[in-house]
Amino acid sequence: MIFLTALPLFWMMISASRGGHWGAWMPSSISAFEGTCVSIPCRFDFPDELRPAVVHGVWYFNSPYPKNYPPVVFKSRTQVVHESFQGRSRLLGALGLRNCTLLLSNLSPELGGKYYFRGDLGGYNQYTFSEHSVLDIINTPNIMVPPEVVAGTEVEVSCMVPDNCPEMHPELSWLGHEGLGEPAVLGRLREDEGTWVQVSLLHFVPTREANGYRLGCQASFPNTTLQFEGYASLDVKYPPVIVEMNSSVEAIEGSHVSLLCGADSNPPPLLTWMRDGTVLREAVTESLFLELDEVTPAEDGVYACLAENAYGQDNRTVGLSVMYAPWKPTVNGTVVAVEGETVSILCSTQSNPDPILTIFKEKQILATVIYESELQLELPAVMPEDDGEYWCVAENQYGQRATAFNLSVEFAPVILLESHCAAARDTVQCLCVVKANPEPSVAFELPSRNVTVNETEREFVYSERSGLLLTSILTLRGQAQAPPRVICSSHNLYGTKSLELPFQGAHRLMWAKIGPVGAVVAFAILIAVVCYITQTRRKKNVTESASFPAGDDPPVLFSSDFRISGVPEKYESERRLGSERRLLGLRGEPPELDLSYSHSDLGKRPTKDSYTLTEELAEYAEIRVK
C-alpha cells in the first residue's frame, strides 16, 4: 500500500504529453463492489494541428476494433449503447478538454472486463487507443496479511476496499479482532494510477494460540443494504513446545516399553529421541513413539525428546526405571588377616529397587542394610573364632542372590589343654593338640635324653589336621616303667608355643586310640581266649599252681577299663606285674606295642612290624598255658 501526497504519475505524464500525439491514459485495472458504481478515470490526446470543432468519443467493451462489433458502452454522437449498459453508463469528463472519464452504475458481474476508448474528431480523424482498463467486480474486502507472522513479533494486518464510486463510499469494520488490538482507520487513499481505496489497519502481537485464527473485515455502504465481508486465517509461526510425554516409567526386566513425545509448533517440528547423546529415532511429525522390546538393566536411564523447527526448539526428559533382581554380590576386602587386625569387608551388588543386604556366618546375622547396594562389615580385632565361611545375601521382591567368601585369621600356635601323655603297658603315647593358622610345625622334646622328635619322623609321630586343629601323637615303646618328661613345641611364622605334657592313666589313651569298635573287638577276643584256656586246661587235667589257690580265676590280662565279673581286684595288679615280667624274660626286649593309629586307621590291618594288642593277648595266653 502506498500513501499518495501528490498528483499521480498518470496526470504528470498527460501534462507532459501535450504536443501532438495520439495517446490515452487510464488505470490498467480498477475494481468495485457488485451493486455499486465505478468511475474509470481517462485522459486522451491528439495532434494539435487537427484542431477539431467538436470532439466525440466511444467506449467499447472487450474489443477496440469497431469492425468486430464490440458492445458499445457509451457513444457521444448517438447515445446508442448495448443493452447491457442501458441506463448504466455515462461520461463524466469533457471530451473537448480531452477528459474521457466513464461512470458505470449498478454494477453486476457480467460488466467485468476490458474497456477501450476511441477518439472521434470527425472525418478520418478517428483513433482507437490500445490502452485499456480492466474492471473487476468484487464481493469481498481484501485483507492483507504479511507473508510471515511470528509469535511474539508485532504485525500489521490491513483491510483494503475500492472507493471509486463518487456516489457512495464504503465504511470498514473488523470482525473477530477481540483480544488482538484496536483497529485504526486510515480513510480514503489514492493509488498510483488514480484509483481510490479505503484502508483500515489492525496492529497486534500474535501468540501461538492465534495460529489459525479467522480474522474478518466488513465493508458496508450507508443508506443501503449492501454489506461485504472478507476473512483471512492467521498463519502464526512459533517454536515447538512439547505438550505430551510419559511421566516416569517403571518396567520389569524383559517387558515392552513405549515412550511417547508430542509437540505443538508451526511448522511441524523435527522430533528426536535421544539417550546419552545417541539418536535413537527421529521424524518430522507432531508425535513420535520410541518402542523398546525386552528391556534390560542396561536400558535403564534418562531419555530425552528434542523438538525443533526454524523458530526454536524445546526438549524434555523421561526416566525409565528397569526393575530387576539383584546381581550376584561381589566381595572386596580382606580375606586373610592376622589375629588382632581390623578387617573391613565390602559386599556390593546391583538391583532395582535396591536390595536388602545381609552378611551371615553360621546362620548368625553379622550386618545388614535395607535398600542399599553396599554393605560394609567391620571386625575391629579379629580372633581365631572369626575364621570361617561367610555369606553375603542380596534380595528384593524380584529375586535373591548370594555369594560365599572365606575369612582366614592367622595366629600363633595355641596348645590345647587336652594335650597329655599316657602309658599303656610298655608304651607311652603323647597327644599334642595345637590350634594355629597357618599350619604349624610340631616337635616333641625329651629333655632327659636330649632328644627332639619332629613330626616328619613318621615312625614315631603321627599327625592329622582338621580345620585349624593339628593333632600329633608321639609313640614311645618300652617307657612305661619310667615315663620321661615330654615337651610339645609348636611353631609358625607368628610365634612358638611349648607345653610340658602331663601324664594320665594308661587306659585313657589306649581306648581313645582304639575307639569303641576296637574295644568291642578286644573284649570279644579276651572272652575267646579265656574260653580257650579253660577248655585246654580241662582236657589236660593240669594241676593248679600253688601261687594260684583253688577257686580263683586264671590270671588273664585285661584293659584297665574292662574286667570280667567275678575276678577280685586285689589280684589284678599282681597278674599285670607277673605277666610283664614273664614277657620281658621270654623275649629279652620290650614288646613293640604300636598304638599310633588314629581313629581313621581303625579297621586297617597293621603292618608286619606292628605288635598289636590281639597278638600280645594271644602270646600271653600261650605263655600261661605252657
The structural domains of the chain, with segments of one domain joined by +, span: 23-137, 140-234, 240-321, 330-411, 416-504
CB 440 within 8 A of CB 490: yes
Q: Where are the beta strands (DSSP E) in 10-140?
A: 23-25, 29-33, 38-40, 43-45, 56-61, 72-75, 89-91, 102-104, 113-120, 126-138
pLDDT confidence tier of residue 401, bands split at 50, 70 and 90: very high
Q: Residue 582: pLDDT above 80?
A: no
Over residues 382-395, the mean pLDDT reads: 93
Q: Residue 179: pLDDT above 80?
A: no
The predicted-structure confidence for 118-136, as pLDDT tens digits, reads as follows 998 887 888 889 899 999 9
What pLDDT was estimated at residue 585? 35
Which of residues 104 and 191 earns the better pLDDT score? 104
Over residues 203-214, the mean pLDDT reads: 90
Whether CATH 3.30.1490.20 fits 240-321: no
Q: Residue 74: pLDDT above 90?
A: yes
Q: Residue 612: pLDDT above 70?
A: no
Over residues 249-254, the mean pLDDT reads: 94
- Domain 330-411: top CATH class: mainly beta
Q: Element (H or E) spanning 538, and its range? A: helix 506-540
Fold entry, domain 140-234: Immunoglobulin-like (2.60.40)
Percent of the chain with pLDDT over 90: 59
Does 267 sit behind a cis peptide bond, omega within 30 degrees of 0 on the bond before it? yes
**In the CATH scheme, what is the code of domain 23-137?**
2.60.40.10
Q: Residue 620: pLDDT above 60?
A: no
Q: How many angstroms separate the CA atoms of 242 and 265, rounded?
A: 9
What pLDDT was estimated at residue 578? 41
The predicted-structure confidence for 515-555, as pLDDT tens digits, reads as follows 455 555 556 676 776 566 556 555 444 333 333 333 333 33
Q: In whole numbers, what is the pLDDT of the chain averaged over residues?
A: 80
What pLDDT was estimated at residue 435? 94
* Torsional sign, CA 543, 549, 552, 556: negative
What pLDDT was estimated at residue 64? 85
The cell for 565 is: 565279673
Q: How many angstroms separate the CA atoms of 239 and 237, rounded?
A: 7
Highest mean pLDDT among 171-180, 354-363, 605-614: 354-363
What pLDDT was estimated at residue 191? 80
Whether CATH 3.40.50.300 fits 416-504: no
Per CATH, 140-234 and 416-504 having the same topology is answered: yes
Q: Residue 485: pLDDT above 80?
A: yes
